Amino acid sequence: MQSVLRSLRVLEAVSEHQPIGVAALSRMLDLPTSTVQRILVTLAEAGWLRGTEEDLNRWVLTGQALIVGRRAMGEIGIREAAAEPVRALAEATHETIHLSVLDGRKRTVLIDRFDSDQPVRTYNRLGTASPLHVTSIGRSLLAAMTDEDVEWVIAHGLPRITENTITDPDRLRANIREIRELGYAVNIGENRANVCAVGAAVLGPGRKPVAAVAISMPDIRFDHRQVPLWGDLVRKAAAAIGANLRD
């Protein structure tokens, strides 16, 4: 059992920090270098990892991990359902559009991105995971969840990511009530400094929250007067994705 747990820890660490070498993994996981090397070789033989083309001693995930992850989250169906609404939202706003799925009750994972056509734009790597309370995507999903789920998230802690992160439970509850009224959430530098976003939840079969879409932009282009317009656009895009999923 211990060997399986260690292998999973290595796989998760590679997914978060790829490309990464044996020594760095050993320090990060507090495991002997020989143990980490043995696990890496085993995972490579099983088709989960590979060395990079530039340096075979730096490891990355293979397509096998991506396929399994997509199956676990229903990502393929969501991406197909979101393709046209996301493209239209990008054309309407000229900003980067993020599509993330709900991963349990604690975080979201970015599964698709439509990059802005502007020279200065935001960037997040596909596969990036974020706590629910720190992003417009996450809080829009919280607002679509039950009060019981919200309290579960609060009870498990609201870590501070930036100086703007909401960490007070009462303030988060008040913000969720506002999101439920508006139909969209706003993030102003709460997950990454100088990055703002407006997001809305996607409701799948049974009208359960399964994903969310957001307009992401650098704070130099964030205009409070535009928020109602962006909110309306992202809310309609999320509704269209949800309708495609439920068809």
Which residue ranges make up each domain of the chain? Answer: 2-68, 74-246
Gap between the Cα atoms of 167 and 173, Å rounded: 11
CB count within 10 Å of CB 170 equals: 9
Q: What is the DSSP letter of 217?
A: E
Burial class (CB in 10 A: 0-12, 13-18, 19+), 53: exposed
Task: Answer for the pair 218, 195: CB distance below 8 angstroms, yes or no.
Answer: yes
CB count within 10 Å of CB 86 equals: 21
Tokens of 110: 């970015």
Q: Which pLDDT does position 70 carry in this prediction?
A: 57
Q: Which pLDDT does position 198 carry in this prediction?
A: 98
CATH of domain 74-246: 3.30.450.40
* Residues in contact with 39: Cβ distance below 8 Å, sequence separation at least 6, in sequence order: 3, 6, 7, 10
CATH of domain 2-68: 1.10.10.10
- The pTM of this model reads 0.73
Per-position pLDDT tens, the chain of length 247: 677 788 788 788 877 887 888 888 888 888 888 888 888 888 788 878 888 767 767 888 776 665 566 555 555 588 889 999 999 999 999 999 999 988 878 889 898 999 999 999 998 888 888 999 999 999 999 999 999 999 999 999 999 999 999 999 999 999 999 999 999 999 999 999 999 999 999 998 888 999 999 999 999 999 999 999 999 999 999 999 999 987 7
Residue in the structure block whose two tokens are 């879409």: 213
Q: Which pLDDT does position 66 carry in this prediction?
A: 59
Q: Which pLDDT does position 16 carry in this prediction?
A: 81
